[in-house]
Structures are given as C-alpha cells and as structure tokens.
C-alpha cells in the first residue's frame, strides 16, 4: 500500500464532491447557514465535510470501513496491535487507557509528575493511587524522572499494584528508562501505561529516544497534534501485547468519546499518520536540525543555559528529546514568566514558562527560511530583557506528597464545604490544584492540606503562574470534605 494513502481523507473528499443535500446535523448544513466570518475563516471545503457520524464515512464507535482502515494503518506505523483515534484529546485517551486496562479498586502506581488528566482517570475508574516522587534538579528547578529501582522498591512493598502509569517523555523532553521500567512492571504481573503525549514523533529516528511501545509498554497515549500535523485536540491511543484486552479497550474508548466526532479532526489524524508513514525519519530529522539552530543561538546569549544531553543519567533521565529546547533564564535576572511575556510582546509565543525556564517546542514545520531570523529575534529579546542588577530568584519547590485519607473518587463524591484556603491546614481537599503548564498536581482530592502546600501555592501565584482546576480566584477559598 502506498505510504501517502489516506482512506478517511479520501472518503471525506468523495463525500464533498457528491454534493449531498444534508437533512441531518450539524445545523449549519454544510456551511449554508454558517456565520459569514466563520465561513470566511474556515472556507467552504472545510464546512462541507463538517458532518457527524455519516454512514459513508464510517462510525468511530464501531468502525468497519474507512476509520477502521485508517486506525489499522496507524497501528502498522507505530508497531501496535491496535490503535484508536482520540478526538477528545490525550485527556480522553488517558481516561480510556486507564479504564480499559484496570478494574475498580485496583492499585495504580503513579509518579507525582503526572498530568492532571491522570487524576481524572483515577477518579473515573475508582482506583487506589500509590504515588512516587520523581527526582528534582536544583540547578534547573525541574522535576526529572523515576527509575526502575524506585519502581521495584514500591512494587516489592505493595505487590498488589496492578498497573503503573508514567509520563515519558515529560514536558521538557526528558525520557525515562521505559525499557527497564517495563521489565520491573511486567515482572510484578502489572501493566505499564505511558502518557506519551509529547512523543508521537519518537521511534522514527535514532536521533531521538525510542517510543514507549518499542520499549515494552502495554499502552501509550499520544498527542498527535502537539508535535505532528494533526489539528489541535487530536490524539491516538496504542496498545500492544497480551496484557490488555483489545475489545475491552475499544469499549473504554467508545465510553469516553463523543457520539458526534468532528470528521475534520479525524481526517487530520489520517493525514498526520500518512505524513509520518511517507517520510517520518526525514521529518523528525528536520525538527532536530531546526532545534539545534535555536539551541546554538540561545547558547550564544550570556546568562542563558540550555538543557542538553548532560541531563541524561540524572534522576532517572535515560534520554532527551532535543526538539524540546529549554532555556534557563535565571542568569539574566528574570523569571521564565517574564521572559515569556517579553517574547510574546515581540510576536513570539512559547510552549511553556515556569519560574526559571522557557520551553520552545520545535517541529519539522520550523525547518523553514523564516526560522533563523526568529532564532535571532528570540536571542535579542532575551538579551535586552536582562536586568542590570541580577535579582536573587527564589524558585518554589513542589512540596512532599501529602497524606492520602480518601481515594480520589471517594473524595470527589463526598459532601463538601468551602472554607478560606488560609484556614484549611489539616482538612481533606475535594479539589485538585495544579499550576498549568505543566499541570503537575500539588493537591489531589482526598489528600490532607498542609502549611507547605499553602505556602507553595502562594509563591506560585505571586510569580504569576496560572492555576488550573475548579478553584476560586487566587485561591482565596478551597472546597474541602465537610466535617
């Protein structure tokens, strides 16, 4: 089969050309009733194929033709037994991955640097989480990874753990030793699930870390839209091996997927898959080339240090995705938040800022004529933004894991009351608190609030980092379990 074959996109184009009159949803009827500005923005072709569950285009909940074929091609590409398109994003894929792999009441081991969507999956599945704190690097003010040794120690102590969910690579491109962790997890009779949101491009070139499935994971959830060519919100879930029942995982995917999927989103997954099938190695190496250009430019600015492969071997970091370019700006006397603001004013939007760093996400699309000038502009903006008198920046460190009094599901459904956050020490939280990005939970429903947590949250708010979750503005109040 030709690498550029796109069964779902081809079917969508055939449907558009048929000019069928739609007496069905959506209400804009192929663009006829769409807002004029929306129509001008998207174009007539896009609106013509904005349809919902057309028999001619297959059904994502029971695929038998084009979607099935497109998903099978994705499985072939990624070396999976089965692959599923996830138009609800990687959050939906993670929810399905956990629901499809484990049973209510099971214990799941989770490093604390997990995305907040993992906590949502634990609540939905009614699991008992066991947390593990990853290493922390003082020089970079970053959480690193977890090791196979740490995993083994916890699993020896708690042999009834049924599943392990790790994040690899993390937001900053630091990959865990997934192969060694998989060996430990499988040796204890558990399944290894990987939040690989930032790794849909891994495994196509030896210039980057291997993929989770190549390293022995049972399942991996990927954000195809983050790094590859799919539209925002488009992800995939892959499973491999005998540890997970494929039909049960399909049922879990159906459970958390909208019954009105957008075919533009589904088609973009087909297109992104086709691109990688045709020239995945070439595209990945284009991204590495562009990232190296930005890396060299940033390293030329006095006071900036750029995260490189010297981090490998520290705190469970087995490899680094070099297309994630992390610049520590503390030497300029400014915070990462301030650096991000300066760059945005100059017309450059970055992937992430934290108190110490700015993260630039580079893909194959950045291997273009415009990019060298962009690199120079970034360097100039940061150089001009330095403070003449360097401030002593205090970077708050994530507190220790709080005591868990209730499993998250129990806390989520328990009766609550709202009290002043300052007066909440010793109370059991009903809320999840995380600062986003990168969304690492500070507090999970069912955990005891401590003075250290309150101090950390206040420090993060003072630095200007946005808070996520159903929390009050500036955390004046918090919902806790009612006494």
Tokens of 279: 């020239």
User: Who contacts 436 (Cβ-Cβ below 8 Å, separation ≥6)?
Assistant: 116, 466, 467, 468
Residues in the chain with pLDDT values less than 50: none
Strands 317-320 and 324-328, bridge-based pairing: unpaired
Asked, for residue 323, whether it belongs to a domain, the answer is: yes
Phi, psi of 74 (to 5 degrees): -65, -40
Asked, for residue 273, whether it belongs to a domain, the answer is: no
Rg (CA), the chain: 23
From the CB of residue 403, how many other CB atoms can be counted at a distance below 10 Å? 11
Please report the pLDDT score of residue 141 as a whole number. Answer: 87
CA dist., res. 417 & res. 65, Å (int): 51
The 8-class DSSP code of residue 214 comes to G
Tokens of 220: 């991996």
Claim to verify: residue 379 and residue 316 sit in the same structural domain: yes
Residue of 126, 125, 99, 121 whose CA lies nearest to 245: 99
Vertex 456: Cα angle to 397 and 314 (nearest 5):
15
Claim to verify: residue 454 and residue 378 sit in the same structural domain: no
Please report the pLDDT score of residue 473 as a whole number. Answer: 78
Asked, for residue 141, whether it belongs to a domain, the answer is: no
Residue 463 belongs to domain with CATH number: 3.90.100.10
Phi, psi of 433 (to 5 degrees): -115, 125
Q: How many structural domains is the chain composed of?
A: 2
CA dist., res. 58 & res. 52, Å (int): 10
Residue of 165, 211, 221, 169 whose CA lies nearest to 192: 165
Q: Is 54 left (phi over 0), alpha (psi -120 to 50) or beta?
A: beta
Stated pTM of the model: 0.96
What angle do helix axes 66-78 and 7-18 make, rounded to 10 degrees? 160
Local structure of 35: helix, strand or coil = coil
Residue-wise burial string across 110-123, b where 16 or more C-beta atoms lie within 10 A, e elsewhere: bbbbbbbbbbbbbb
Claim to verify: residue 350 and residue 413 sit in the same structural domain: no
Give the structural domain span for 434: 408-481
CA dist., res. 68 & res. 70, Å (int): 5
Asked, for residue 399, whether it belongs to a domain, the answer is: no
Asked, for residue 424, whether it belongs to a domain, the answer is: yes
Please report the pLDDT score of residue 51 as a whole number. Answer: 87
Please report the pLDDT score of residue 247 as a whole number. Answer: 97
Phi, psi of 164 (to 5 degrees): -130, 135
- Among 384, 418, 441, the domain boundary falls at 384
Q: Are 426 and 479 in contact (CB under 8 A)?
A: no
Claim to verify: residue 289 and residue 354 sit in the same structural domain: yes
Residue linked to tokens 């192929």: 30
Claim to verify: residue 371 and residue 436 sit in the same structural domain: no
Residue of 237, 338, 310, 224 whose CA lies nearest to 270: 224
Claim to verify: residue 288 and residue 380 sit in the same structural domain: yes
Strand (E) or helix (H) holding 295:
helix 263-299
Residue linked to tokens 């950045």: 366
Local structure of 153: helix, strand or coil = helix
Residue linked to tokens 């004046």: 476
CA dist., res. 181 & res. 168, Å (int): 11
Residue 365 belongs to domain with CATH number: 3.90.1150.10
CA dist., res. 70 & res. 222, Å (int): 16
From the CB of residue 125, how many other CB atoms can be counted at a distance below 10 Å? 22
Asked, for residue 216, whether it belongs to a domain, the answer is: no
Q: Are 106 and 127 in contact (CB under 8 A)?
A: yes
Tally of residues, the chain = 483
Claim to verify: residue 380 and residue 413 sit in the same structural domain: no
Claim to verify: residue 433 and residue 365 sit in the same structural domain: no
Please report the pLDDT score of residue 466 as a whole number. Answer: 81
Residue linked to tokens 């890396």: 295
Claim to verify: residue 427 and residue 465 sit in the same structural domain: yes
Asked, for residue 324, whether it belongs to a domain, the answer is: yes
Claim to verify: residue 362 and residue 443 sit in the same structural domain: no
Phi, psi of 228 (to 5 degrees): -100, -160
CA dist., res. 374 & res. 394, Å (int): 30
Local structure of 212: helix, strand or coil = coil
Phi, psi of 434 (to 5 degrees): -150, 150
- Among 368, 384, 400, the domain boundary falls at 384
- Among 384, 400, 427, the domain boundary falls at 384
The 8-class DSSP code of residue 456 comes to H
Residue of 316, 320, 312 whose CA lies nearest to 149: 316
CA distances from 81 to 5, 204, 311, 466 (A): 20, 18, 33, 39
Q: Are 197 and 224 in contact (CB under 8 A)?
A: no
Asked, for residue 317, whether it belongs to a domain, the answer is: yes
């Amino acid at each position: 089969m030709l690498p550029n074959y796109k069964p779902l996109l081809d079917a969508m184009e055939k449907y558009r050309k048929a000019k069928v009159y739609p007496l069905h949803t959506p209400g804009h009827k192929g663009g006829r009733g769409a807002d004029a500005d929306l129509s001008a923005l998207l174009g007539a072709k896009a609106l013509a194929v904005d349809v919902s569950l057309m028999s001619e285009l297959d059904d994502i909940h029971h695929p038998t033709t084009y979607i099935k074929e497109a998903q099978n091609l994705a499985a072939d590409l990624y070396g999976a037994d089965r692959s599923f398109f996830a138009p609800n994003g990687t959050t939906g894929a993670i929810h399905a991955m956990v629901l499809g792999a484990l049973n209510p009441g099971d214990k799941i081991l989770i490093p604390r640097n997990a995305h907040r969507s993992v906590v949502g999956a634990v609540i939905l599945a009614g699991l008992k989480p066991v947390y593990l704190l990853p290493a922390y690097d003082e020089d970079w003010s970053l959480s690193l990874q977890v090791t196979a040794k740490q995993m083994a120690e916890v699993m020896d102590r708690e042999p009834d753990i049924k599943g392990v969910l790790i994040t690899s690579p993390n937001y900053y491109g630091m990959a865990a030793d997934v192969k060694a962790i998989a060996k430990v997890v499988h040796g204890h009779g558990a399944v290894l699930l990987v939040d690989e949101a930032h790794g849909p491009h891994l495994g196509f070139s030896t210039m980057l870390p291997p993929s989770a499935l190549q390293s022995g994971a049972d399942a991996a959830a990927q954000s195809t839209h983050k790094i590859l060519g799919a539209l925002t919100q488009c992800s995939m879930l892959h499973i491999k091996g005998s540890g997970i029942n494929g039909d049960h995982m399909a049922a879990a995917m159906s459970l958390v997927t909208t019954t009105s999927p957008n075919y533009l989103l589904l088609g973009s997954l087909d297109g992104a898959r086709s691109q990688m099938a045709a020239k995945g190695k070439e595209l990945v190496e284009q991204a590495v080339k562009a990232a190296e250009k930005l890396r060299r430019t940033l390293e030329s600015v006095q006071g900036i240090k750029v995260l490189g492969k010297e981090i490998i071997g520290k705190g469970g970091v087995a490899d680094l995705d070099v297309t994630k370019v992390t610049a520590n700006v503390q030497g300029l006397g400014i915070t990462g938040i301030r650096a991000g603001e300066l760059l945005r004013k100059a017309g450059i939007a970055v992937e992430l800022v934290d108190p110490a760093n700015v993260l630039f996400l580079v893909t194959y699309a950045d291997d273009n004529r415009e990019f060298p000038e962009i690199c120079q502009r970034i360097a100039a903006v940061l150089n001009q933004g330095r403070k003449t008198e360097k401030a002593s920046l205090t970077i708050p460190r994530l507190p220790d894991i709080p005591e868990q009094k209730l499993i998250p599901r129990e806390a989520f459904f328990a009766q609550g009351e709202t009290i002043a956050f300052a007066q909440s020490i010793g109370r059991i939280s009903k809320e999840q608190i995380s600062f986003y990005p990168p969304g690492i939970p500070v507090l999970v429903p069912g955990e005891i609030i401590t003075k250290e947590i309150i101090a950390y949250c206040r420090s993060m708010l003072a630095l200007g980092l946005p808070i996520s979750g159903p929390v009050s503005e500036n955390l004046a109040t918090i919902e806790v379990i009612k006494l």
